[in-house]
Amino acid sequence: MGLYIVAMSALFFLAFAYFAVGQAAVSRNGTQTAADSAALAAARASRDQLHDDMLAALISGDESALQAILQRSGTDLRAACGQAYAFASANGAKVDGCDPVTGTPPGFKVRVTSRSSVGSSVVKDSENVYASAEATAVVEPRCAVDGLQGVLVQLTCDHHRVTVDPTAAGFVLDLSTFYAVHLSK
């Protein structure tokens, strides 16, 4: 009977320990989601800053300006990181760092920490442990300018021919045609 009690106690302890590991994994996954969404939000906000410059270059038909715009991202880091803070907060995390990634393609690296602890369990001090994660998102150009035909701008976007007429009635510039925003390593 005594051996049975010891064996059952050990199994219960083991079950609670596995539960603690599961709590930690759930917290880590939630925090990684917050980091991913924050990095994507910062990169998208940076991309969206190019809207007016892209529209002006399309309307003017300035081929060199279009090529230059396709190779850069926005410069207002405060606005881009502001979006990262908002998305991290909406996902239960706080931003520890939001830094631009230089090079090609440009983007943002965001580090976050969960606002909630892993939780209390049989593991000592687990209620004082907070998950952290980081993610990098980039703004990658999808298009190259092929030339102009009057007011029409000819581009190749993801290996497909795209013709843009910025003077057409109802024209709305959709930057997702020209840029991909995605997570990177």
Determine the pLDDT at residue 22: 59
Q: Summarize the confidence of residues 22-26 as an average pLDDT.
A: 56
Name the pLDDT band for 70 (thresholds 50, 70, 90): confident
Determine the pLDDT at residue 104: 77
Determine the pLDDT at residue 183: 95
Residue 50's closest CA among 175, 170, 183? 175
Joined together, the tokens standing for residue 98 give 């939001």
Identify the burial level of 63 via C-beta atoms within 10 angstroms of its C-beta, where 0-12 means exposed, 13-18 middle and 19 or more buried.
Answer: middle
Separation of alpha carbons 145 and 166, rounded Å: 14
The residues facing 94 across adjacent strands are 113
Separation of alpha carbons 110 and 83, rounded Å: 11
| Average pLDDT value over all residues in the chain | 84
Name the pLDDT band for 125 (thresholds 50, 70, 90): low
φ, ψ for residue 81 (rounded to 5)?
-70, -25
Name the pLDDT band for 38 (thresholds 50, 70, 90): very high
Determine the pLDDT at residue 45: 94
Range with the poorest average pLDDT among 14-28, 56-70, 110-124, 150-164: 14-28
Name the pLDDT band for 130 (thresholds 50, 70, 90): confident
Determine the pLDDT at residue 76: 85
| pTM for the whole structure | 0.80
Query: How much of the chain is in helix, strand and coil states, percent to nearest 5?
Result: 45, 30, 25
Tell me the pLDDT tens digit for each residue of 141-157. Answer: 999 999 888 889 999 99
Percent of the chain residues topping a pLDDT of 70: 80
